[in-house]
Structures are given as structure tokens and as C-alpha cells.
Amino acid sequence: MSIAPQFVHGIQPEGFLEVDAARLLLILTRFARPASELTFPPACAPTESFVAHFASEYYLQKLDFLLRYPAYFIYELTELHQAGDPAASDREMITATIRKIYDDREPELQTIPFRKFWRGAYERRDDVEAWWWARELVFIKFELRGTAAPWKHYFLTQAGQAVAARLIENVPHAKWYADRIEQIHRFMGHISAADIKARQYRHARYREANLNEYIPDLTAEEIAENFRHVFDEPLEAPVG
């Protein structure tokens, strides 16, 4: 099986604003912390009512990458199991998860390419944030950090949660996104954005991607070889 060759050459068209807004809203809904936990600087809190908080844009971009590149996600599941990470310690669960993603041809069918920027996979989301704000789904505030770039905070509203719930209930592909986001949260929710970036840069295809070009996907051979190395069994089920 060849993994997403069309994405390697960068011919996948850009996504629609509403699709990006919906997908990222689903990530925020799962990963945001309840407002009662006070995980944000008080000075950053919006005057509008909100129910949950998420930081930061950097982390959101890393999570979106895992969602948009199933091949990278299953590679990291293999790596986490090999490293003895408690979240990925269940061999049967991890191998079953990887095989289902692979057998469903998700790397071919579900990959949405990401452009390379200075710090790795990054896309400006001003249009998405404006779309959220206009509908009072998510409010964005900035935390000043001296000479460093401001830190972006996302404040999810009750309306935003309701829209996410309706998407999952009524849109089949949104349900697929929500299920994958749940898997990312279960197996990698404890991993920081900096660690995700370090893992990305271990791959030559990612590291050597040119600025503002699509990041190539991993190959089927890379996925299968790593799986066999860690689990000492083939990724693909024997035929016959």
C-alpha cells in the first residue's frame, strides 16, 4: 500500500474555512480545561462568558498535525509503546489501533497536508479565529511575554461546546474527527507541544521539507518496518 503519494507532491487543494474551523473547534472542545481550574492568567480572561480554556496556538498546531497525518500518529503510537509510556503500554490495544488505521487506508484517504514554516508545521488561523469570534464560539486573548512572542489563549464558550456536539451528532466526518481526537488525547494528551515537535523533527521527510511547502507523509514501508521492529510481527495480516 502506498501512503498518500498525492500529498507528497503537494497537489491537495487548500481546505475550506468552515472545515478548518470545525476541525479545530473539536480539538479545543476535547483538550480545553474547565474554566473552574483557572489555567489562564486572570488578566487574559475575556469579559464574555466562557466554559473552558486552552493554551496555546503552538500546541493547537501540533495536535492538528497529528489529526491530519494518520501515518505520523500511528508511528508515534509504536514509538510510545517501545519507550514504555504508560499511556501506550497495552500492546493489544496499541497494535489493534494501529492496524485499524492502516487497514482503513487512513494515510491515503484522510491525510490533509500541512505547510512547513520556521518552527515546523504551521498555518495562520486568523480567518478561523475571526469566524469563531463572530459566532461567539471561541474568544482569543493574548498574554504579553516581554520580548518573546505573545502567548495565545483560547476561551471556549457554551455555544462553542454546543456547536461541537451538534457536529459530532449530525456530521459523519466530524464524528470521525472526534474519535481520532479522543485517541490522540488518550495516548498522547500528556505529551507537550515541544516534545511533539521534537518527535516530528526526528523524521528526515519532515525535517528537510522546504519552507512553505507541504510536509511529505511517511511511507508505508517506514510504518511497516517500524511496527515489525517494535512488535516483532508484520503490520499487514497474512493473505489466505
pLDDT in tens, 129-171: 999 999 999 999 998 877 777 889 999 999 999 999 999 999 9
Report the pLDDT averaged over residues 184-202: 95
For the entire predicted model, the pTM comes to 0.89
Q: Is 15 part of any domain?
A: yes
Domain that holds residue 200: 5-231
32-75: pLDDT as tens digits: 999 999 999 998 999 999 999 999 999 999 999 999 999 999 99
Q: Is 236 part of any domain?
A: no
Q: Is 238 part of any domain?
A: no
Amino acid 60 reads L
pLDDT reported for residue 6:
38
Q: Is 237 part of any domain?
A: no
Q: Is 219 part of any domain?
A: yes
Q: Is 240 part of any domain?
A: no
Could you report how far apart the first and last alpha carbons of the chain are, in Å?
18
Nearest residue to 27 (alpha-carbon basis) of 70, 72, 69, 59: 59
What whole-number distance in Å separates Cα of residue 209 and Cα of residue 51?
39
Q: Is 239 part of any domain?
A: no
How many distinct structural domains can be found in the chain? 1
Q: Percent of the chain at pLDDT above 70?
A: 92
* 138 touches 156 (CB < 8 A): yes
Q: Is 33 part of any domain?
A: yes
